[in-house]
Every structure is written in C-alpha cells, then in structure tokens.
Structure 1
Amino acid sequence: MPNSPESSGESVSNSSSGRDQTPNSPAQVAASDPPGSTQADDSQPPNGSFGHTRRAARTLLRALRQDLQASSVLAKIKTAALSWRTKLRSTRPGIASAPFKWMTSALVRVGRGQRSKPHDSRRSAPFIAGWRKFAIGLALLVCLIAGSVLVWALKDVPWSEIRDGTLKPIVVLETADGAPLVRQGPYQGPYARYDQFPPHLIDSVLSIEDRRFMDHFGVDPRGIGRALLRNLEAGAVVEGGSTITQQLIKLQYLDSDRTIKRKIQEVVIAFWLEWKLGKAEILTRYLNSVYLGAGATGMPAAARIYFNKDIGALNLPESAMLAGLLRAPSQWNPIDNFEGARQRTLVVLDAMAANGKITEPQAAEAKTSFARLHPTTPTPRSGSWFADWISPQASEIAGSSPGSTTVRTTLVPRLQQIAEKVVKRALDSEGKTVEASQAALVAMTPDGAVVAMVGGRDYKASQFNRAVTAMRQPGSTFKLFVYYAALKAGLTLSDQVPDAPIDINGWSPENSGGNYRGWVTLAEAFARSLNAATVALAEEVGLDNVIAAARELGIDAPLANTPSLALGTSEVNLLNLTSAYASVQLGRAPVRPWGIIDFQAAGQPKTFRVGLQAKPNVDLSPYQSDLLGLLQLVVEHGTGRGADPGTFAAGKTGTSQNNRDAWFVGFTEALVVGVWVGNDDDAPMKGVTGGDLPAHIWRDFMREATTEPTLNGMRSTEAVVDGQGAPLSCNITACARSYRSFRPSDCTYQPYSGSRRLCEK
C-alpha cells in the first residue's frame, strides 16, 4: 500500500511543493513498483552470474544503508540539513530555488538516508546540462579568441624566408692574392658552415648562453624561471631567459619592440624553427649573424677583425673570448676594453668547466695563454678608398643572391702600402712649405687593372676620394690628346709649329716664364710643354678632332670646345686620365679601369672571371711609337726630369692656372701611375708644378713598385675552367643589358623555355 509520512515516521519537508515524497528504501521501492515494471531490475535479473553478482551487491548496499539510518551521525546530518533549509527560507525567500533548492533537498535526503527520487534526477538534469553547455561554450569561446590572437600576431611573419634560410646578401672582398680585404667600419665575413666552426667555439657559446640548447624545444621554461628568480633576488635584470633560438629570431626576423604581439611571434616561431630546421642549422645561422663589436657581424668577421684568422683557426681562449662578447659586445670589445674582455673570458672558461666541456686543468691553461693574447684590428689592405670605389661594382655582381659572394679584386696589398707611404711622406716633408694639403695616386696595369689607390692624405680624416670623385683641371697633361690628333691628321714629330704670341678672340696664352722659341718641332713643343705652340697646333688640327682624340683614348668628362681646351681647362678626374695614358702603353684604346678579377657565390661550385668588361677596340699601333717617344722625351729631357726612376719611364707633367693643380701621369713597362697634388678649397700652391712634388711622388713610388714580385701573381689568376678547359668568363654588363632574368651569382639567364642557361656574351 502507499507509504505515508505517518507510517514511515517522517514528516514531509518539501511541503511547499505539495507533492508526496517517494519511498527511499529499496524494499519500499520494490513494494510500490507495479508488476512488470522495468524499475525492479533486481526482481528480474538477467541470466548468468552477472545478475547474481548485481543482486548481491544491491542487498549489501541495502543493509549498509539501514545501518547508517540507525546511527546517531545520520540523525545529526538530517537535523542540520533541515535547520539550514528552514533558516534560508525564512531569511531569504527564493534562495532555496534551484540550484540551492536542489542542494538543500539533497542534504535532507542524505540526512534521511534516502536516495534521490526519479523525478528529482529529472529536475537536476537541466541544471547539469546547462552547466555542461556553458563549459563547452566557454571553451569554444576561449579557443576562438586564442585562434584570433594567433592569426593577428602571426599574419605578417615571413614564414617562407625563415623556412628557406634566406640570408642577406654579403659581399666579401679579397685582394689579388686571395687575402681578405678588411674595410674600416662595419664588416661581415663570408657565412661559415656548421662544420667550419671549431667544436670549442660551439661549446663555449652554449656554455655561457644556452647550456640546455640541445635539450629544449626553442623555449626553456627552466631557464626562464631561473632568470626570474635571480632577477628578483638582485632587484634588477641581471640575467635573461631567452634561448639561442629566440635570440636568432630577434636578430634576423623580428623587431626589438617589447609588445605582446612580438612575444607571441617569438614563441611560435621558436617552436617552428626547432621542428623545421634542427639544432645545427639554428646554431649556424646564429653564429653567422650575431654582432660582436668593432663593426664585426658574425663569428667569421670577428675572428678576422680581432685575430686576423679564419674561423676554423681559433684556439680555445680565442673562442671563449668571442663567446664572452655575445652578452655586451660594445662594453667588452677587447680593442677598447681588453681587461673587461679578459675577465669575461675567464667567466666563459669557468662555465665550460662547470658544464663538463673542458677539464679544470684545460681551463687553467687557457686562462694563462689568454694573458698573452693581444687582439688587434688588422690594417685595412685597401687603404679604404679602393674598397669604397669597388664595393658598388661588387654589390652589382652579387645582386640579390642570398648569403655571401666572395669577390677577388685587383688590389695588390704591398703596392697599396707603398702608395700610401710615399704620399704621406711627401706631404709631411714638403706639403706645408708649398701649401699643398692633399694628394692622390692611382696605379694600374696597362690593361686597366687598378692595383693601388690613394684618395687623399688620411682616410680617417676624410673619406672623399680625390682619385675618383674630384674633378680638376689637368693642365698640360691634356696636351697628349692634342698631339695624338695631330699625328692622326698626318703630321710627324719633326714637323714644325710656331711658338709665338697668339691672339684668339682676345685670349692670348703664355708660356711658363713668358719666353717664346719661334718655330719648333712637335717633339720639342711637347717636351718643353710650350703653351703657345700647342694652342696653335690645336687650331690647325681643329678642336673637334682634339675632342675626338681624347674620347678615343677614353676621356669621358665633358669637354668644352674652346681654344683653352688644348691647355687642359676642362676638368677630369685622376682615374680617367690615368687610364687614357694606359691606352698608349697598351697600344689599344680605350682602356677602362677595372678592379674585379673573379667572384664566387656561396653554394656555387664555379668561380667566374670578370676582368675587362669591354675590350679596347681602337688600334693605336700606327701612332704608338711616336706617342711613346714624346712621353719618354718629357722624362729624359723635358719638364718631367724629376720623375726619372732610373729605368724606362714615359709621362707628362701638368699644372693648372695659378698652380692650383699639379699632375704627373706616366708609365713604366709594368705600371701606369697618375699623381695629383693640390688643395680641396682650390687654393693656389706656392710655385708647385707637375715637375716638382707630383713628379717626386711618382718617382719614389715607381722605384719601390717595380721590384714588387706580387705584380706578376696578380695577373696569373686561378680561374675555374669548364669541362672543355676554357676559362669561365662572365660579362656582367653585357649579360645584364641583354637579359632581364640575368642572375650574376651563377651568370645565367632564364630562356622562354627550359632551364636556366649560362650567359656567354
């Protein structure tokens, strides 16, 4: 029969609901269930042992519940639950509504030892389902926000560039003998492969910068926590938690802004790099791109700047010093702060010993040897003016090729040193007396290979290249073109020309000293540099022909069609004028100055010759002997006697109006050299002519340079040959003009169909 509250000895606690309480005991449930009800699972057990086991378990639980109902603990729980719910209803109406209503009812049922009624489960199901939906929705919202943040942060990351390892183009200049041509200022050497770095350099870098590099996945939580604790203890930032992978990302791919976006990018890229590249490639990129002070970027450049060594030749203390510079390269630069660099090196060696990379005795020995170490920046082999002149051409050859391109130049270090020495010595000894503050010198082979270049007195004081950029009046050195035009017009050196006062539309040129010699031969007029006779000759030949002769020999500067042109009043630069004289020595014109022998891009198996980009196509052999005779006569008997080096020499002096510019340009068997002396402000010098200070500088240089054995070595370049044994040459200028797809790094172009082809122009 129905189970009433009176028969059970219990009062109805949920009176406000107006609904009867359902039975709680298993016996009552079984009695109230109608025949055939599916609720009485234990009355109709399934066949097999599982049904018997389940029925036994239910019996055991029923007995346990009856024991709990008889205990005083259960009575206390029931009383407390009823009291708490009654108090809630009286003080805060409605607070017992779901979910609180459900919780208090549950507590009461626990106190009574009753199980939840079927309709109570149904009432709590919407609540549970609601919370489940809320949790799922919240998770989806969080995922959506996180995904949106990642898309926003990573949308501008150069993934392909990072994946392909795209490197900035770097041009590495070498001298003619293959030695590094180190420039003053920023310098980055060729990229080194992983196997080119000595193991002790890698060990020293990892020991001081990221000793867990081989174990973490781009971000090191342990290192971050350690750095955080040490920074908190010190009250300042004394240690960073960035891994080498993160440092590489900062160096090459991301800016240095401390924003949330950049930090997200850094972490994601770090994991991606570790997965995509691997440890060796990451470390290789890092060592090639990190700044190490004194203008050196990358370990190869630092090895050259500080020790004048290739990267593979570094010993243990040198490697430890370079690793120590990573934290503060400007502060511990050994050139400016040797003691600071030494102390930092000791720290690195101790870290290597603690990390098990070296033993304590090895560390002690390295510390002792470092005390005798004296890093110093090598003297730039270029004098810097040459490097400044050739770098744009080298960069054009390298193009946008990723990585390093090694470019071998024509510069001969020993000749460069001689040139710098004689220019400085002459200005120091005579310059102040004659009020000459600057000088320039260019030396080249007869085919135009520039082997030495001095653009002024002191590169550190002024980087202006007076040998290339300065445009000055050449004076009588221009007369070479007047007499070449006369020879082309059919005159001979024995023909005569009047050396007398001449008036051309109110302009009257004068000879030096004011004397005139009457009728003189062309040879005498040239040797004595007679102005009146030369102007008369130019008028007879025609100024148009004089200009054409100058162009034929290679003069590119604007030339004014005026009578004074014959005396060199149109400005030229020293490099151009010297190359024009080289045409006479070579016997073909025009000679164009050049400075690159060959080049090889990183990853390319071939080296390509550059050399002459345009071969001289004018044959001077009909006039060469006469021109050589004229120039040789100047040195032997004329105004250029002060340039006589004691061997075969030919050249011409030149002095502009009021002694503002003084020149001597000439050649020996092996070299063509031009010298200019003057002042940047165009101030007159005290009586300086081309036969004085410039001729003396030319003579002193030639006396030392003609005995230089490396001059022949410069010509015998080691060019790579193809399968047929022919030198691989690359005419950069012609190929670039012919093919828009031309790629200088391997001298190829892309045809309309098929693979790339070698440019053979």
Structure 2
Amino acid sequence: MSTKPNPRKKPSRMGWLRTLFKIGLFTALAGLGALVIAVLIAMASLPGFEELKSSPNGQTVRVRAADGSVIVALGPSYGDWLPIAQIPDPMKKAMVAVEDRRFYMHPGIDPIGMARAAWVGIQRKGEGRRLQGASTITQQLARNIFLTNAYSFGRKFREVILALAIERKFSKEQILELYLNRVYFGGGAYGIDAAARKFFDHSATTLNLGESAIIAGLVKAPSHYSPTADREAAIDRAKVVLEVMQDAGAITPSEAGAIDLDKVRLAPERDQNAVRYFTDWALAQLDDLVDEQVQPIDVWTTIDPVMQKAADAAIRANAPPGAQGALVALDRDGAVRAMVGGRDYVSSIYNRATQAERQPGSAFKLFVYLAAMEAGMKPDTPVTDEPIDIGGWSPRNSNREYAGAIDIRTAFAFSVNTVAAKIGQQVGFDTVADMAHRFGIGTKLNTHPSMVLGTSDVRLIDMTRAFAAVARKGVAVVPYGIVKVTTAKGDLLYEHRADDNRVLVAPWVAAEVTDLLQTAVNTGTARAAQIGRPVAGKTGTTSSNKDGWFLGFSSGITAGVWMGRDDAKTVGGLQGGRAPARAFADFMRVAVAKRPAEPFETQVTLPEFQIEPDDEAFFGAPDDSFTNPEGLPADQGIEPQADPEDGFEPQAAAPTGPAAAPPRVQPGPPPAAQPRAQPAQQQQQRPSLGSDFLSGIDQPRRNADRPRP
C-alpha cells in the first residue's frame, strides 16, 4: 500500500521568513526612496545661503497693563553677522561639544543620539516627558528658521527632512555659521554677537573660553541659565560645558583647569524697572499659551500700574538695609495686580516673589489651623499654653513663658508655638502637609513635628495664593498674569478662562480661619498691618531673624510680603510684624483706596480680658513693658533671641499703641470667651475632635527642660 504526498503541505518556517524578509526589504526600499524624494524636494525649495543670512528672526512683543497702557516693549536684538572665520575657536568648540558632538560626522540627524533618546523615553514611559537630546545643530537650525517649537510628530518629521536637505545643500561650516548667528540666547539676544554684547559688553570676536562656555550653556534653557538672572546657575552650567568639552577632546584638562568662571565679568543691566519682574514671569508662559508667532503680538496682562508703583515704593521704603524684599498682590480670581521680586531689578533680576524658596516661620501656621478647623475645632475652643514634648522636640514660645488656659483665637493671634505644636500632633503632621499642598504649596514639605512652625521652604507666590483662597471662602485661587494675547491687528490668539469650581475647604472653615487672621491684625502679632478697614493676616519670622513675612487680605486684594537676605544671614530687627507688615500696610492703603471697605463674614468678639476699658490696665503704658506680638509679653527690656535648635521664632514688637495680650499663667479657671455671632455656614453639623483632643492638650508635660537628643 503506497502513501500519496499531501498537495496541501504547509510551507516551511524558512519559507515564511524569506517572505517576511522580502516584504520588509521592499518596504524599506520604498521608504528610503520616498525619503530621498522628500529631501530632494526640500533642497530645491531651500533659500540660498546669502538669503538666509539676511532674513530676520524673532518677534516684537508689546506688554500691556490692565488699563491697556504699554508697560514694556520687547523685541529681538541682533549684533553683527560674524563669518565663521571671525568666530573664536573656543566658541565653536563649546557649541559643538555641548549641543552636537558628532556634528562633523552625521548627515543632519544623529542615529546614535536618537536611539539614546528613544531608550530614555522608554525608561520614562508614563512620566509625560518629551523625547529630548536627539536634535542636532542642523535640526535646531531647521526648526529655528522654518518651523515652530510646537511639539508634534508631523513637525518632527518635517524637521528631519529639512535637516537632511540643509546638509546636502550647505557645508558644515556654513551650517555652523548660520546656527551661531541665528540661535536664541535669551534676553532678546539672537546670535552670539548680540549675546556677547548683552552679557559681556563686547563683540563676540573677542570671546574667551570662559565666556564661550557661559554662552554655549544658555541654549538649553535661556531664561533659567541667564547670567543676569542667576549668575550661580549660569556658572554651574558653564562648568558642565567645560567638562563636556574636555570629555569630547575639544580642550585639555589643563585648559579647563585654568578657567576661573567666578572671575568672568558680566555687563550690568540697563534701563530696567521693577515691572520687569512681572513681565519676565508672565512672558515665560507664552510658549504654553500660543503657538510661536513671527508677527508682532500684544500681551494684555493683569498688572495694575498704580498698585505696581505702590508695591515697588513699599518694598524700597521698608526693606531693612542689606536685605531684599518681595511682594505679590492677587485679586479675587488670582489676577496678579502687582509683583516686586527685589529692591532693584537693575542690580538683580532674580525674582524672589516666584523663584526664591525660604522658610515661612509662623505664617505656615495658617495650614495648621485650617486642618484644625476642618477637624472640628472652633476659634473659641479652650486650649492650654504649657510646655510640651513631642518625641524629644520641645518647642518654646519666643518669650520663654506660658499663658496657661487660653482659647484658639488667642493662641493664633499671639502665634503661640506650643499650642500650634499640640494641634499639629493631634490632627497629624501629614494632614497639615496635605492641607498646605491642597492650598497650592508646590515645594517639598517635611512632616517632622517642627514643620508646624514653618521649617520647610516655600515660595512667596504660593503662600499668597493660599491666603487668597481663604479670602475667597475656600475656593482655589490660581495666580495668572496674562488676560489675552492678540496680533497687532487685534486677532485673538489666546484668552484666559477662569476656573472657579475647585473648592478646597468648606466655607465655614475659611470663615473661622478668617476670624483668627482678623484677630491677629486687630490685637495680635500683626497690628502694624492695620489700614483703617477690615484686614486679616499673619506674620512669620524664622529663627535668628533670617526671614520676615506678612500675608493678608482686605477688600478683595490679597498681598504677601517677604524680606531677608539672599545669603540667608541674620537681619537685625527683622520680624514679620515690623517691616513686612508696614510694607503691606503702605501698599494696601493705595491698592484698596478706590474699593469699598468689606466687612468679613465673621465678626471677632474678643475674650473679656482683652476688652478692658483701660488699655493699660494689665501692663501699664506702652513704653513701660516690652510686648512681643509673635509670642506673649516678655519682661521689660529683655527681647528674646532666636535659638535655631529650639524650633521657635522671635517676632515683632508692637509698632505703636497699647499691647493686648493674654495674661500669664495664674491659678484658677480660664477666662471665659464671649459668645459671638456665627455665620450661617458655621451652624451646620461638623465633625469634632471632642474630649480626645482636650484631654490630649490639657495634660502637663514632664521633664520640660530635658534637652533634645
């Protein structure tokens, strides 16, 4: 019996592989052919070298204030066009090393760099980051001249085609000449000659290695590494450039070691004013709001010229000698009405209102008491000011004394540290940190017990945003500076749209915290901030008087003030209730002058012992005793000094007028708090900490003087 072969025998595995190989080879050849055709078409459409040299780049931007007036006009600045032979070798080597070290070897795109960027992108999948680091100098030139910075696959593909075409049409030397004379270096400077004149006040033909390293380092992030904005960041970036040049063999180790970047002389900024702090901050957001434009545009902003002038004057008049100052003012919806980032933009364009991260001191207690109110406490909840130990940490009040039985309103008004620590322990330090983040604090916060006294670094604009949300009855506030962007002809390119839907805390929580903040201004640490109409706010002073803060609101305007030294050294007499509070008052008198006075939703009724008919009944005339409003009254003539190990802060003495303060510890029951009107929102049922909280804070601490481990 014979077996017939099966005519439907399956193809072998090798047969399938050959078929797939043929299909892949055909697809690759077809793609390569299409790519060659696209490159040839792009080559034919490219302008000539001389035409590219003469075509301008950049755009003119007019920045308008809230009243429509032009506050600053910005536009590109160009130096002389330098032929490649006149560009110093250090400049050429620095740019090639840091931006495209295989520039002289690749055909316009760098397969090695693209593969590395793709691998990094795979590793960072889900982080929402773009693929970076794969663009060659030729690709950057193509993007700068012919395309926009809008990130898309289509734009990237056109960029690759143009880069290949440019490499076919021009020599490497021509490409590098075009790039160095066209690339943007920040501050409106296009090309190395404009950058050299702006940052070093001389032509690019005389750039040395140190200056070349600084300029080459700017391309990655012109605003972040600008030597006039942040010299230290520019120097650090230049050091990286020198290391890359050495690694690439462009310079020797001895040449790199001979450069002292700290001795590079920078040209001073000219013809600037305080409003540039705001325009620098606002214009940096344009790339995210509108596609890159070639034509002139008008940027309509929120800045109020009257308020801006008042803010600048308030900082200049009140910042202590040798110290810097910053101020941010927000309207109800987050519109930035004034911004001052330092005493003098000419000498320093570093924006301390939006960039500096400093400890807020007791101003951070806002979040402690927000968490407490949300957990069920009330302003008249009784507490005990007494020694406390939390895991070996023993906070003390700035006058080294304890008031005994008081209420929450009094503890907040006089910034009692021990009570804040107790509340933080009860509600949870993680809860306090979460509350701060909820209200817009974007910096990293520690959750050590001392965090309740403001030991984590924060930004002034974030703190101001948080206080503005309390003023807005618990609704989130997002600072913004650009209202709309139009072309010179009036065509609308962008318009701001407010989001009023995000509620951070219930209205009654915001109302109760406003009660506390108002008491701090009326009778507590912030009396220097009074302006003759309802004001709510909080002071803050860090240990050794390194930072002074005041943040508050009135009549729809919220303002935050910070003062201190950039090197974080002690400033004699700097306390939140003094210079910062006075600067706030000087500014707010102008800012709200044309606005109707607005009473707060909750009226403050003070405890009986604070409503004596004779203001001098407890402590005599104002000159007879020293009163430290960030803590409690201290002995006459003895001003408490900060001890950074203690985690507490000394604060401002009352500027004028009688001192209202709770009595020191006395035998007998605590003083009774007067009943007060409760707003409707506060009448609803709320969770309460109840007896667990009260029992936790009424127990005296043992071994009060035990040193910290």
Q: TM-score, structure 2 length as denominator?
A: 0.49
Larger Rg: 1
Q: TM-score, structure 1 length as denominator?
A: 0.46
- Structure whose residues are more often helix by fraction: 1
Higher relative contact order (CA 8 A, sep 6+): 2
